[in-house]
A and B are shown apart, each in its own frame.
Chain A
C-alpha cells in the first residue's frame, strides 16, 4: 500500500483515500521517511472521531514538493501505550507530547514526555502549570533562576527556568501554556467563513498575514477556487511586507537589548514606514482584513503601487546604510558573534523551521519547497547562514529584508504588466466546502513554516482544525542556544529568535 500524497499547496485529499495502517507499520513508514534529509514532519495530530481517535502524520518532501499523509487509529478514552517515534526521530518529540497531553497516549521511550500547553480539553486535568516536572539538580554549587510567567515588560506569559553555574547557564527549560485560548476549537464552533478568517488573523498577532494566508489556502482548496495571478501577487506582497516590518523591528530591538541606542532609533522609524504603508493599503497596519477567502477588497491601483515602490526604495537605502554600520561596529559584533550558537546538527534534531533553521545551514523554506501564490512562478531566493549565532540571525534578517524588498519590486512589475485586471474576484463568504476532506495550507511566515490543517464532515463543515506555528519547534532552539552562555546573554538570544507565546499556546 502506497502512502497517500498531496502534491499541491494548499492541497486536499479525501479522508477515505488516506490508508489507515496499524501502528507498527505506521512507525516504520514514518521512520523510513523521516530518516531522509529532504523530509520533515509538518504536523502529527489526533482527531477524535467517535469512539476512536484517528491520527494523521503529514510529512513534507522538500525535493518532490509533495506531502505524505500517514494515518493510524487508536481507541479513545483510555490510556494506551505506543512506541515513541521521538526515541529515534527527536523532532517528533513536540507532536508526541501534544498527543500524550490531549489523548493520554503513553509513548514508551520518549525522552521528554512532559505537558506541552495545558489545553482545556487535555486528558489529565490534574496536570497544571504548578505541577510541571522541571528538570532539577541537587547541587550546592549550582543555583536556579526563575523568570516569569509574569514579565516586567508587555510581553506574554511564559516561565523560563535557568540552572546556572555562577553566571553561566547549564540548562534552560521553557514552560508555556499560560494563555490557552482554544483557538482551534473556535474554528469548529464558528462556521461562517468571515469569522474563521478573522480568527486566523488572531492566532499570532505578529504573523497576521502568515496565518491568514494558510487559512485562506485551506478555504480555497476545499472549494476548488483557483487563485487568479493578481490575487496571488498581492498576497505575496503582503506576506513579504510583514516579513520586512518584523525583521526591521527585531533588528532595532536587538540594538536596544545591547544598549546601542543609535541602531535602535534609526531602525524603528523604518518599521513604522512599512506598517504605515500597509495602513495606507488596507486600513490596518498589521494587514488585518487584507486576506479573505476567494478574493480581496484591496487590489492596488497605480497610485498605491508607486507609493509602495518609493517607500520601499527609501527603506532599502536607509536600511542598508544603517545595518552596514551596525554589523561593522566592534562593540556590536563583540556581543553578537559566537553568542548563542545552535549547530546544524541541533537544528536538524529539533526540527527547527524557517529562520531558526536557515541561520544554521538548514535550507527549509516553504516558499521554495512548497510554493503557493506568486512564489510558484516568481522564484524568491532563500538565504541561509552557517554560524548559527546571534550574528547569523541578525544578518539573516538583514538579508531577508533586502531580498523581500527586491522581490516585491519584481511583483509590482508583474502586477503592472498583467492585462486581465478586470473582474477580479471579491471575497466570497458563502462558499461551501467539499465533504470528508483533509485540507492542508502551508505558508512561510516571517518566523518560518506555518501549517494549518482542516478536516470536514459529511456536510462540508470543519470538524477539526489544527494549527502549527513555527514557534512550536523553535522554542527548543532558544533553550539550546543559551546553554553554556552567560545568563546576561539570554535576552539578546531571546530577541534574536523572537518566538511567539500565543502561537504556541493557541
Chain B
C-alpha cells in the first residue's frame, strides 16, 4: 500500500512543480498530468542507442528505475506499514539509490560523447558529497528514536512528536537533498538547453524512448520518497487514518510548491559553488547530529 501511495504521489509531483513555475511567471501552464503524458509518448516510441553503446546502454535505464522502485519498498507512508522492513534497511535504501546513480553514470560514459562524461563527473562528485548529509540525518534520527529501520523511525517520531527545531532542520536538509538528488535549481536547471551547464540532463542526452521514460519516472519517484520522509516529522500517531492521508497529501503538495517557488525566484549557483553548498548541507546535518548526540 505504501508503495502504491508513493507511486500515486509521484504521479502529481512534476506537474505541480511545473504548474507552480508557470503560475508564478504569469502563465497558464500545462496540465498537472502533462509530464506523464510526455512519459506516455516516450513509452510508445522505440529507443535509439548510441553506436558506441554496449550492453550497459540497454540495461541501465531499467536498472535505474528498478533501483528506485526497490528502494521505495522500505518507506512507510504514515498510517501504513512498508512492504519490507528489517533492521538497518536504510543502509540498503541508500545503496539501492547509489546503484541507480552508478548506472546512470556509467550509462553516460557508455554513449561515448564528450558532453556526457562531463555530466557524469559532476553527478559523481555531487552524489559523493551529499551522502554524509543523508547518513548523518539518519543517524541523528536513529539516536533520537532508538530505532534502526525506517518503520521504527516513523513510529517513534510519530509518537514523540519530535522537537520542532529538529523537525524543521531535518525538513530543510531533506529538501536540499531532494534538490541535489533530482538536479533542480539552484544546483542544476532541468529546463536549460545549454549542455555545458547541465548535470543530470546531459547524462541522458543519448537516452531515448522508453529508456528515457524510465529515467523520468525514477526521478519523479525519488521526489515522492523524499516528500514521504518529511511527513515522518509532522504526522502524529494517534489520529484518524484519513486525517493522516490528508496531512500527508498536504505535505507532499507543499513540498512540490516549495520547489516550484525556489525554481522561480532563485538563480543557479556557479558550478564550483555547488560543492560548497552541498558541504554546507552536510554541515547542518552534522550540527543536528551533535546536538542530538549530547542532549
The verdict on A265 contacting chain B, using a C-beta distance below 8 Å, is yes
- B272 in contact with A167 (CB, 8 Å): yes
**B285–chain A nearest beta-carbon distance, Å:** 23
The verdict on B273 contacting chain A, using a C-beta distance below 8 Å, is yes
Determine the chain A residues whose CB is within 8 A of the CB of B163 once the complex forms.
none
**A134–chain B nearest beta-carbon distance, Å:** 14
Which of B26, B115, B196, B197 counts the most chain A CB atoms within 10 A? B196
Determine the chain B residues whose CB is within 8 A of the CB of A488 once the complex forms.
196-197, 270-271
The verdict on B269 contacting chain A, using a C-beta distance below 8 Å, is yes
Interface size on A, residues (CB 8 A): 31
Determine the chain B residues whose CB is within 8 A of the CB of A153 once the complex forms.
193
**B132–chain A nearest beta-carbon distance, Å:** 22
The verdict on A258 contacting chain B, using a C-beta distance below 8 Å, is yes
- B268 in contact with A487 (CB, 8 Å): no
| Interface range for B | 20 to 34
On whether A486 and B264 interact (CB within 8 A), knowing A144-B114, A152-B193, A257-B194, the answer reads: no
- A261 in contact with B270 (CB, 8 Å): no
Q: Which of chain A's residues has its CB closest to B117's CB?
A: A143
**A425–chain B nearest beta-carbon distance, Å:** 45
Which of the 9-residue segments A273-281, A326-334, A367-375 touches chain B? Answer: A326-334
User: Of A260, A264, A486, which is within 8 A of B272 by CB?
Assistant: A486
- A152 in contact with B195 (CB, 8 Å): yes
Distance in angstroms between the alpha carbons of A175 and B188 in the assembled complex: 29
Determine the chain A residues whose CB is within 8 A of the CB of B267 once the complex forms.
255, 258-260, 263, 329, 331-332, 334-335
What 1/0 flags go to A480-503 for Cβ under 8 Å of B? 000000111111000000000000
Q: Which of chain A's residues has its CB closest to B26's CB?
A: A265
On whether A489 and B263 interact (CB within 8 A), knowing A261-B21, A262-B25, the answer reads: no
The verdict on B210 contacting chain A, using a C-beta distance below 8 Å, is no
Q: Which of chain A's residues has its CB closest to B199's CB?
A: A488
List which B253-279 residues lie within 8 A (CB) of chain A: 263-273
Determine the chain A residues whose CB is within 8 A of the CB of B121 once the complex forms.
166
**B23–chain A nearest beta-carbon distance, Å:** 11
- A262 in contact with B195 (CB, 8 Å): no
The verdict on A322 contacting chain B, using a C-beta distance below 8 Å, is no
Determine the chain B residues whose CB is within 8 A of the CB of A166 once the complex forms.
121
The verdict on A19 contacting chain B, using a C-beta distance below 8 Å, is no
**B113–chain A nearest beta-carbon distance, Å:** 9
- A145 in contact with B196 (CB, 8 Å): yes
On whether A335 and B268 interact (CB within 8 A), knowing A257-B194, A259-B186, A259-B263, the answer reads: yes
- A259 in contact with B191 (CB, 8 Å): yes
The verdict on B110 contacting chain A, using a C-beta distance below 8 Å, is no
Distance in angstroms between the alpha carbons of A265 and B122 in the assembled complex: 29
The verdict on A146 contacting chain B, using a C-beta distance below 8 Å, is yes
- B196 in contact with A261 (CB, 8 Å): no
The verdict on A80 contacting chain B, using a C-beta distance below 8 Å, is no
List which B188-210 residues lie within 8 A (CB) of chain A: 189, 191-197
User: Of A262, A334, A335, which is within 8 A of B265 by CB?
Assistant: A262
What 1/0 flags go to A232-271 for Cβ under 8 Å of B? 0000000000000000000000010111111111000000
Distance in angstroms between the alpha carbons of A255 and B25 in the assembled complex: 13
On whether A335 and B270 interact (CB within 8 A), knowing A144-B114, A259-B263, the answer reads: yes
Determine the chain A residues whose CB is within 8 A of the CB of B197 once the complex forms.
257, 488, 491
Determine the chain B residues whose CB is within 8 A of the CB of A152 once the complex forms.
193, 195
The verdict on A147 contacting chain B, using a C-beta distance below 8 Å, is yes
**A279–chain B nearest beta-carbon distance, Å:** 22
The verdict on B49 contacting chain A, using a C-beta distance below 8 Å, is no
On whether A259 and B114 interact (CB within 8 A), knowing A147-B195, A490-B196, the answer reads: no
- A146 in contact with B114 (CB, 8 Å): yes
The verdict on B176 contacting chain A, using a C-beta distance below 8 Å, is no
Determine the chain A residues whose CB is within 8 A of the CB of B265 once the complex forms.
261-262
On whether A258 and B268 interact (CB within 8 A), knowing A145-B114, A152-B195, A491-B194, the answer reads: yes
Which of B114, B122, B185, B263 counts the most chain A CB atoms within 10 A? B114
Q: Which of chain A's residues has its CB closest to B118's CB?
A: A145
Distance in angstroms between the alpha carbons of A403 and B197 in the assembled complex: 33
Determine the chain A residues whose CB is within 8 A of the CB of B189 once the complex forms.
259
Distance in angstroms between the alpha carbons of A332 and B270 in the assembled complex: 10
Determine the chain A residues whose CB is within 8 A of the CB of B269 once the complex forms.
331, 334-335
Q: Which of chain A's residues has its CB closest to B122's CB?
A: A167
Which of A264, A265, A487 counts the most chain B CB atoms within 10 A? A265
Determine the chain A residues whose CB is within 8 A of the CB of B271 once the complex forms.
167, 486, 488-489
User: Of B193, B263, B272, which is within 8 A of A261 by CB?
Assistant: B263
Distance in angstroms between the alpha carbons of A132 and B232 in the assembled complex: 60
On whether A487 and B118 interact (CB within 8 A), knowing A147-B195, A259-B186, the answer reads: yes
**B29–chain A nearest beta-carbon distance, Å:** 12
Distance in angstroms between the alpha carbons of A490 and B191 in the assembled complex: 17
Determine the chain A residues whose CB is within 8 A of the CB of B26 once the complex forms.
265
Distance in angstroms between the alpha carbons of A147 and B198 in the assembled complex: 14
Distance in angstroms between the alpha carbons of A334 and B273 in the assembled complex: 9
Determine the chain B residues whose CB is within 8 A of the CB of A487 once the complex forms.
118, 196
Determine the chain B residues whose CB is within 8 A of the CB of A259 once the complex forms.
185-186, 189, 191-192, 263, 266-268
Determine the chain A residues whose CB is within 8 A of the CB of B195 once the complex forms.
147, 152
Determine the chain B residues whose CB is within 8 A of the CB of A329 once the complex forms.
267
List which A377-400 residues lie within 8 A (CB) of chain B: none
Determine the chain A residues whose CB is within 8 A of the CB of B25 once the complex forms.
261-262, 264-265
What 1/0 flags go to B14-34 for Cβ under 8 Å of A? 000000010011110000000
- A334 in contact with B114 (CB, 8 Å): no
User: Of B27, B115, B122, B266, which is within 8 A of A260 by CB?
Assistant: B266
Distance in angstroms between the alpha carbons of A331 and B196 in the assembled complex: 20
**B50–chain A nearest beta-carbon distance, Å:** 16
Distance in angstroms between the alpha carbons of A486 and B275 in the assembled complex: 14
On whether A331 and B118 interact (CB within 8 A), knowing A262-B25, A491-B196, the answer reads: no
Distance in angstroms between the alpha carbons of A334 and B274 in the assembled complex: 12
Determine the chain B residues whose CB is within 8 A of the CB of A145 once the complex forms.
114-115, 118, 196
Determine the chain B residues whose CB is within 8 A of the CB of A144 once the complex forms.
114
Distance in angstroms between the alpha carbons of A147 and B197 in the assembled complex: 12
On whether A334 and B270 interact (CB within 8 A), knowing A262-B25, A265-B26, the answer reads: yes
User: What are 27 residue pairs bridging A and B, where the CB atoms are less than 8 Å apart in the complex?
Assistant: A146-B114, A147-B195, A152-B193, A166-B121, A167-B271, A167-B272, A258-B267, A259-B185, A259-B186, A259-B189, A259-B267, A259-B268, A260-B266, A261-B24, A261-B263, A261-B264, A262-B264, A264-B25, A265-B26, A329-B267, A331-B266, A331-B267, A331-B269, A334-B267, A488-B271, A489-B271, A491-B194
Q: Which 4 pairs show the lowest CB-CB distances between chains A and B?
A: A260-B267, A331-B267, A259-B189, A491-B194
Further contacts, 12 of them, CB under 8 A, given A166-B121, A262-B24, A331-B267: A147-B196, A257-B194, A258-B268, A265-B25, A329-B267, A331-B268, A331-B269, A334-B270, A335-B267, A335-B270, A487-B196, A488-B196
Chain A positions within 8 Å of B, measured between CB atoms, are 143-147, 152-153, 166-167, 255, 257-265, 329, 331-332, 334-335, 339, 486-491
